[in-house]
Amino acid sequence: MTLFLGLALVFGLVFGGFMLSGGKMDIVLHALPFEGMMIGGAAIGAFVIANSFTVIKSALSGIVKVIKGSKWKTKDYQDLLNLMYELARIYKQKGILALDDHIEKPKESEIFKRYPKVLKDHFATDLITDSFRMLSMQFDDSFQTEEIINRKIKKHHHEAMASANAIQTMADGLPAIGIVAAVLGVIKTMSSIDQPPEVLGGMIGGALVGTFLGVFLAYCMVQPISGRLKQIEDEDAAFYHVIRDIFVAIVGNHAPNICIEIGRGNIPTRMQPDFYQVEASQKELAPL
């Protein structure tokens, strides 16, 4: 929701300051629809040319992410720790074969179904199940395991950042597009050079709205949206790093509660459950 607060501050203070200083909004409002159509049309058209439909769709979803904020909350991290604890406990006490039904059919697993938000995230579920599959194939080198999981996370993160990078590219181009619109306004003004000064002044002011609008949209709206989306993607990626850290600890043959504590220590601070919360939740889980 910080998006709406930021937009209110930007519009209120920029245009409020303009009017308080004696600026008149009539020229701006008169030119805004036409300049906005040129700048917005050129920016959106260039965005469509430069990106695949997958990235365009992802960018639209990214704007929704900016409104909602990070996907993973404190409760989700707690659920992840509980899920990984249950899986690690079964593996430690009963062996990898006891996990077959849960790993091969997570949507039918009673353990996974207790944590629906984690299960709904395809990458998180695949990361967990694929990692245990590697373990079932005797791939138990902790250093190589960490490297393989890191590559998967890096690939996923690179794909997730495509929308933010595309929005940033649009922001970079908007000031130049604003100049294009302003130049067209100057051309229109020069074709009416025989008009009185007050008319020419209004036309020049309208042309300058194009430059203003391009810079305003770039640095006060589009670029901040891109920056916030990058922050959110980085925050959400921490969820998968916790899965990696716990699984590497499992491969290292540590006790389940130690594996979970290693993962808990790498949860972002503001969403990190404390040690006693995790310990209490583990005690509440059904015994094997």
pLDDT digits (tens, 9 = 90+) for 18-56: 999 988 888 888 888 989 999 999 999 999 999 999 999
* 70-82: burial string, b at 16+ Cβ within 10 Å, e else: bebeeebbbbbbb
Show the CA angle centred on residue 73, arms to residues 248 and 159, nearest 5°: 65
DSSP class of 287: P
* Structure confidence at residue 71 (pLDDT): 93
The two three-digit tokens of residue 75, written as one number? 């409760």
Condensed to tens digits (0 to 9), the pLDDT of residues 80-135 reads 999 999 999 999 999 888 999 899 999 999 999 999 999 999 999 999 999 999 88
* Structure confidence at residue 26 (pLDDT): 86
- Backbone dihedral region of 22: left (phi > 0), alpha (psi from -120 to 50 degrees) or beta? left
Condensed to tens digits (0 to 9), the pLDDT of residues 158-169 reads 999 999 999 999
User: Which residue has tokens 């050129």?
Assistant: 42
